[in-house]
Structure 1
Amino acid sequence: MTSSLTIYSPAGVVREAAALRRAQKHLVRLGFDAHLDESALAKHQRFAGDDEARLAALHRVAASGVDVALAARGGYGMTRLLDRIDWALIANSVAQGTQWVGQSDLTALQLGLLAHAKGCGPTWAGPLAADDFGRTAEQGGVDDITEACFVEAMHEELEAIGFREAGAPRGTAPHDGFEAEGLLWGGNLSMVCSLLGTPHWPRIKGGILFLEEVGEHPYRVERLLLQLRQAGVLQAQKAVLIGDITRFKRAPHDRGYSLKSALAAVQAGCSTPILTGLPHGHEATKVCLPVGAKTQLVVQGRDVLLAWGHV
């Protein structure tokens, strides 16, 4: 049975309509009945339509009963809508089977749903239509792993992902034998921190928190992580998984300070294990992660397995 899929734009403006058209065609080739929401290409300043238009699109998709709701892109804009979202409507759509997929700015929607309707079912931290499925051949085309994970997840066949822990000295496996179970949650680091102290913050204890970031110097990443640590968030989790943190520029006065240094400084004051290497973030290769699902984490050597199908 063909899955219906709507591409909608709840945040930043789609800068190239052609990318969205390519994404739609590619998704059709993958077997989805893919179409664009009526305001997917709307423009207002840097947004995909004004706040009213984007809020209406979000609610329209939720009420449609579509199988897959795929965000066109991230950017900025979801935060403006949080106080007016009909969370019961979104939660009901999830309960009825709509799979919401996205990342970056969509972190605010996914975590807001955990805060307002915990237990309604997971959403998916995963690809974006224009950024991932709209890639040209010159841009490297659609990543095979990203595509395969997405298709399996949307067909309810993805039950686990694996990766190799990065950053440890050669010949070492600092988290070998570690195991944990907890609610999987997280997303873009800046967006996660932006929700602290708001009604849209999910108060999760004993969870598995995953984080990614783009375009932020390691000292800013460290500062954001320290905010989470000083707020007691990191200590309340069973594990923290660090995804891609990329596209930042080093400064001449860093003098050896690096992302590795930043993460080590955070880990030094936190007993919760921080594991790196999760293939998720603002790069071409990204796995799909079920935000809000009960998940099991198992580490063997430097190989990490994250499973949710039978927890």
Structure 2
Amino acid sequence: MHDHLHDHDHSQCDHDHGPRHIYIYSPASAVRDKAAFRRGIARLKALGHEVEVDADALATHTRFAGDDATRLAAIHRAAASGADLALISRAAYGFTRILPGIQYKKVAKAIERGTRFVGMSDFTAFQSAVLARTGATTWAGPSLEVDWGVAGEPDDIMAACFDDLLTGHGEGTGWRMNHEKPHAVTGKPAVPDVYVKSATLWGGNLAVLTSLVGTPYFPQVKGGILFLEDISEHPYRVERMLTQLLHAGVLAQQKAVVLGQFTQYKLAPHDKGFKLQTVVDWLRSQIKAPVLTNLPFGHVETKVLLPVGATVSLSVEARDALIYWGHQ
């Protein structure tokens, strides 16, 4: 375990550069910022990596990176590439409609051979489907355009965690949860000390995950650790989606629920104090499993990489939380 995992309010990862083969493809939304796309490729090449760009990476068909057949073919080329890492150019909407056409055996075989599929947001649909259909592990993490193609420098923690994945040194992620007052009546802390050994880590974008409930692409995970994030969703919408997962029996089956970053929403005057913390408090009243906060993952610059479908352990002591997978 890295000694410095708790040295910062966000997770930290070690730097250790080594050249790897990275395959860039566009399975969902069309690339919107071509300059950022080029910057991202240049940055990865500057780190010494061999970057292979899919033939249709810049294709467009309405809002998508090519029609459904084009994007499915890109996924299958990524699986056949033999790359160490297959990185999406960007997410946005586009995955759910092509889930029936994905050749999951090909994807699982590529993962078995060592290709790590990385992405987030709408990519949650792909990750959930791969987990549901094959049990294989993918990685929640950055995309090319938004994270590697930024005008300034890419976030150093994101970059270090990405490097850890490429070099096989990633062992876990530690972070500090939000400061919350103890329960007014019982005086108990908002989150008790927790230790969960050997649970499946799964989840991702809340809206995308919720849209898969009742389909063959929703993972049936019992005794798991469910992590969630979202963007541009008002707290009442976050609560409504959590309610769906609650009523579907999903939340009661988890050993812990870990909330990442929920960003870019606007509270209204008629909320009258209803906010994200209200939703967190409500969720804690509905399930026995601990609800953790402030995981450095979501539509934010500082994001860690998380193995979706992997067996992990979780420990919480006061406000310090740690998810680890390197040494069970």
TM-score over 0.5 (shorter chain) = yes
Partner residue in 1 for 2:141:
126
| Contact preservation (8 Å) 1:176, 1:302 | no
Match of 1:111 among 124, 128, 135: 128
Q: Which amino acid aligns with 1:193?
A: T
Query: Which residue of 2 is the match for residue 162 of structure 1?
Result: 174
Match of 1:174 among 190, 193, 198: 190
AA of the residue aligned to 2:224: G
Contact 1:124 1:291 in 2 (8 A): yes
Choose which of 286, 298, 305 in structure 1 pairs with 2:315. 298
Show the counterpart of 1:189: 206
Equivalent position SS for 2:83: coil
How far 1:173 moved relative to its partner? 4.4
8 Å contact from structure 2 (residues 191, 291) kept in 1: no
Q: Please tell me the residue identity of whatever aligns with 2:190.
A: P
The one-letter amino acid paired with 2:278 is S
Structure 1: how far apart are the matches of 2:85 and 2:65? 20
Q: Determine if contact 1:173/1:302 at 8 Å carries over to the other structure.
A: no
Counterpart amino acid of 1:215? S
How far apart, in 1, do the equivalents of 2:125 and 2:52 lie? 24
Q: Give, as a single letter, the amino acid of the residue that structure 1 aligns with 2:208.
A: M
1:91 and 1:234, CA in 2 relative to 1: closer, same or farther beyond 3 A? same
Matched residue pairs, number? 306
Whether 2:222 is the aligned partner of 1:205: answer yes
Q: C-alpha root-mean-square deviation of aligned residues, in Å?
A: 1.3
Cα deviation digits, residues 207-254 of structure 1 (max 9, x gap): 000000000000000000111111111110000000000100111211
How far apart in 1 are the matches of 2:250 and 2:40? 37
Distance in 2 (alpha carbons) for counterparts of 1:265 and 1:178: 20
Task: State the one-letter code of the partner of 2:168.
Answer: E
Partners of 1:177 and 1:300 within 8 A in 2: yes
Cα deviation for residue 176 of structure 1 reads 4.0
Is 1:273 the counterpart of 2:285 in the alignment?
no
Matched, 1:228 2:245: yes
Query: Using the alignment, how far apart are the partners of 1:87 and 1:35 within structure 2?
Result: 22
Residues 65-86 of structure 1 deviation map (CA, whole Å, 9 limit, x = unaligned): 1111000111000111101100
Helix, strand or coil at the partner of 2:165: helix
In structure 1, what residue type is equivalent to 2:145? A
In structure 2, what is the Cα distance between the partners aligned to 1:174 and 1:216? 24
- Secondary structure in 2 aligned to 1:104? coil
Q: Which residue of 2 aligns with 1:10?
A: 27
Matched, 1:23 2:40: yes
1:136 aligns with 2:151: yes
Moved more, 17-26 or 161-170: 161-170
Q: 1:225 to 1:100 in 2, by over 3 A?
A: same
**1:253 partner letter:** H
- TM-score, normalising length: structure 2: 0.91
Per mean C-alpha deviation after superposition, the further-off stretch among 75-84 and 171-180 is: 171-180
Instruction: State the distance in 2 between where 1:133 and 1:246 align.
Output: 20
**Given that residues 204 and 229 in structure 2 are in contact (C-alpha distance below 8 angstroms), is that contact kept between their aligned partners in structure 1?**
yes
Aligned equivalent of 1:150, options 141, 157, 162: 162
Aligned to 1:72: 89
CA–CA distance in structure 1, aligned partners of residues 109 and 221 of structure 2? 21
Unaligned segments of structure 2, at least 5 residues: 1-17
Given that 2:179 and 2:319 are in contact with CA atoms closer than 8 Å, whether structure 1 keeps it comes out as no
**Amino acid in structure 1 at the alignment position of 2:72:** L
Gaps of 5+ in 1: none
Q: Percent identity?
A: 47
Residue 295 of structure 1 aligns to which amino acid in structure 2? Answer: V
Q: Distance in 1 between matches of 2:179 and 2:128?
A: 28
1:258 to 255, 272, 275: 275
Normalised to the residue count of structure 1, the TM-score between the two structures is 0.96
